[in-house]
């Protein structure tokens, strides 16, 4: 018998799932999950986005970790690039309803000349396409995580040559 992959990824350690009574309960962390739990305790950044290929960078706050990679890597000035990323809610936080990606140069107070399009790949994974840095320098890549009327912005600084 050929083993088939599990159809659903396991919820993150401590993530809340719905039980039959409709009540959120934290996922219990047993056996193998204990290893992942150590990562939870020391910062979810280590576990978030493991499925991404290439050098992974993170942006995080108290509620979320976003792990991402860019293609190409490094980003080339004047050339479109793609951001593949995974949003990992910390324990007690639910996944955002929608996600936006943008970028700006804080020193120059301007953004990109392009608007990124974000598509979801399921299980908290997304792809942002159509980004372009039109000049070298320090850019902040921003991830806006929207839940209802709340938006949390996570930023990652990138030095582009």
Q: Binding residues for Cu ion, per CB under 5 A? A: 105, 108, 135
Residue sitting closest to Cu ion (CB) = 108
Sign of the C-alpha dihedral computed for residues 64, 69, 75 and 78 taken in this order: negative
CA distance 86 to 32: 22
> CB of residue 136 vs Cu ion: minimum separation in angstroms?
8
111 vs 130, beta carbon nearer Cu ion: 111
Cβ neighbours, 10 Å, residue 144: 16
Is the separation of the CB atoms in 127 and 84 below 8 Å? yes
> CB of residue 15 vs Cu ion: minimum separation in angstroms?
39
44 vs 103, beta carbon nearer Cu ion: 103
Torsion of CA 151, 154, 159, 161, to 10 degrees: -50
> CB of residue 158 vs Cu ion: minimum separation in angstroms?
13
40 vs 105, beta carbon nearer Cu ion: 105
Torsion of CA 9, 48, 95, 102, to 10 degrees: -130
Instruction: Indicate left, alpha or beta for 51 from its phi (over 0: left) and psi (-120 to 50: alpha).
Output: alpha
> CB of residue 110 vs Cu ion: minimum separation in angstroms?
6
26 vs 136, beta carbon nearer Cu ion: 136
């Amino acid at each position: 018998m050929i083993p088939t992959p599990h159809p659903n990824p396991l919820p993150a350690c401590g993530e809340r799932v719905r039980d039959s009574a409709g009540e959120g309960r934290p996922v219990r962390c047993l056996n193998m999950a204990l290893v992942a739990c150590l990562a939870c305790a020391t910062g979810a950044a280590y576990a978030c986005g493991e499925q991404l290929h290439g050098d992974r960078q993170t942006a995080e706050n108290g509620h979320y970790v976003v792990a991402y990679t860019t293609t190409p890597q490094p980003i080339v000035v004047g050339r479109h690039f793609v951001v593949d990323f995974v949003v990992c809610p910390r324990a007690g936080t639910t996944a955002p309803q929608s996600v936006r990606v943008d970028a700006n140069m804080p020193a120059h107070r301007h953004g990109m000349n392009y608007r990124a399009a974000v598509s979801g790949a399921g299980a908290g994974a997304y792809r942002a396409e159509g980004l372009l840095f039109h000049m070298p320098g320090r850019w902040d890549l921003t991830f806006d995580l929207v839940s209802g009327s709340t938006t949390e912005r996570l930023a990652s600084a990138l030095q582009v040559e």
